[in-house]
Every structure is written in structure tokens, then in C-alpha cells.
Amino acid sequence: MTSRERVQTVIDGGKPDRVPIYGWVRANLDGPISEAFGSCDAFEDHYEFDLAHLFGGPSPYRESALAEARQRGPIEPRDALDLPMSDPDDSEAYADIAAGIAHHQTQRGRFVYVQTPGIFECLNGVFGIEDHLTYLGLYPDDLAEVYARQAKWNRAFAMNCLDLGVDMVHVSDDWGGQTSLLFSPRTWWKLIYPAHNVTCEAVKARGANISLHTDGNNMAAVDGIIKLGYDVVHPWQESAGMSLQLHHDRYRSHFAVMGGLDVQTTIGFGKLDQLRAEIERVLSLGADGGLIFCTSHFVQDHCTIEELTFAFDLAYEFSRRQTG
């Protein structure tokens, strides 16, 4: 199988020739990786990563407009409706995504997915998370309008990314704390679900893949994630009570998990025996499908290059050893 075939097989519910391998390593470890390998690109080539996470495109709101609005006080939902949004069809803003597709998909055959805005996480940048959580209780009807406006913008962004040729639209929207959602399930269904459905329906109507990034414990929203039609969920965070075994037993037929290497508890702590055991456990669980091996988030800067290479040497070798 090629990398794209391997990942798509997992998404489609089949058994790949081996578990696809990837990791979020660039954000905090570019320096040590570049010193050891020459560049992060070289690191990804060395370990034959099967996926690439692309960033780029326009931002929904201009920072100058947000700064001007904040000079008048906290931005409330009715204020946000008056904020100008950028043009999601500005083709020049997608240059980095197009370059990423050429580098990873065209030249290296990787499965490429592109980060796109969610709803709650995106608008935390407008309101601030504490005020945003307060507004969920105080101004739900106004927020529904703000969310609907954001959802329309997100849909246009996603459609443009699909037109460029990405393999999957990746929606980033953190909802979870360490033990539960940050808000009630009722609020999630009333406000978050319909806004996500705008992009999900549009992507699925084109026969394309769509994935969700949401940190923390999101068990209370899993039925909604299934109803929305998400194909992949990242990270399914075990350190927040999201058992990979539970996904394997109950939810694997509905969506794949991208994750398994937890940055909160597993990698970056110098406990190599534990790290080895966890990688082998996770890869064994995903050997017959349902798993795209990845870090639960960006590997933190307290992880040494020695431990990082130990982890990916093991993942590379163990995944291929499983295939015989």
C-alpha cells in the first residue's frame, strides 16, 4: 500500500498492511530535530511518515479589527456580529496549503489533511475562553447567530481546501477538560452541534474525509460526533479518560482514532520502558485497523531528541514487524 492508500483503508474501516505512522513534532522541537536530522522535513522522510498536517489559509478575523474592538471593552456576541470577517475565497491566502500539498502529497505520496477552524475554539480568540464560557449561559441566542456566521465561513474555507486537493478537512475545536466537557451536553447539542453540521454536511456531500481535533474528555459528545459523520477523531485522549480499548470495542466501526502517543503522560518524561510498553500496546491494538498512530498533541520541548528518536525508531520498526 501507498501511504495514502494505507490511511484511507483505516478511515474506510479496513485492515491496512501496517498501522500508519505520524506525529506532531514541529512546533516545539524544530531546533533539536533540525540539528540532528538537518530539518523537520528530513525527520519525516527518515521515518516515512504517512500523513502531513497542513496549515495556512486566511484567518477569519483581522487582528487589527479585534484590537480596535477591544479598546472599547470586552467583545460580546452582538459586537462580534459587527466585526468584519476576511474573505475565505482569497486564493492568495492558500499558497502555503498548495505548497504543502505539492511537497507531501505529490512528491512523497503522503495523505494530507488541512487544519480548519472549529467554532468554540476559534471564537475563544475573539472573546477569550472565560468570557466565552460565560456567554454560553448569558447570551445563547446571540451566540447561535455568531456561530452560524462562523460556520458559513468555515464551510467556504473547507470547500476551497478540497478544491486544492487535500485528502481530509481537519476541524480543530477543543471542547474537553480533563474529566468532562467544558460545558453541558445540552449546550453542546443546542449550539455546537448545528454549527459543526454546516461544514460536515458539505464535506460529506463531496464524498470527502473530515476529521475532528478536540482535546480532553469528550465522551458526552461521542454520539454527536458519530451523527455529524466525522471519519477520524484526534487525539481520543487516554490521559483524560478516553480509553483506546473502548474505542476499539465500541466505536471503531463509526470512526478511526488518530492518536495513541500521549504527550501528557508518555513521551518526554525519560521513562523509556513505559514509553516502549505504551507504543507496543497501542500499535498492537491498532494492528487490524481503526488507528492512525500519532501524538496526542505537539510533543513538548522537555522531550529530548534521544527520547523522540527512541519513540519513532520503535514505532517504525514495531509497525513493520507486525506485518511480518
State pLDDT tens for residues 267-324: 999 999 999 999 999 999 999 999 999 999 999 999 999 999 999 999 999 999 987 6
Q: Quick one: cell of 211?
A: 476529521
Which pairs count as long-range contacts for 105-108, CB under 8 Å and 24+ apart, including other chains? Answer: 105/4, 105/52, 105/165, 105/167, 108/3, 108/45, 108/52
Place of cell 478544491: 163
Place of cell 491566502: 93
Report the CATH number of the 3-322 domain: 3.20.20.210
Question: Among 61, 86, 82, which residue's Cα sits nearest to residue 156?
Answer: 86
CB distance 305 to 243 below 8 Å: no
The pLDDT of 120-141, averaged and rounded, is 98
- Cα(39)–Cα(37) distance, rounded to whole angstroms? 6
pLDDT (0 to 100) of residue 149: 98
Q: What are the pLDDT digits (tens) for 23-53?
A: 999 999 999 999 999 999 999 999 999 999 9
Residues in the chain: 324
Domain boundary assignment for the chain:
3-322
Q: What are the pLDDT digits (tens) for 92-127?
A: 999 999 999 999 999 999 999 999 999 999 999 999
CB distance 254 to 230 below 8 Å: no
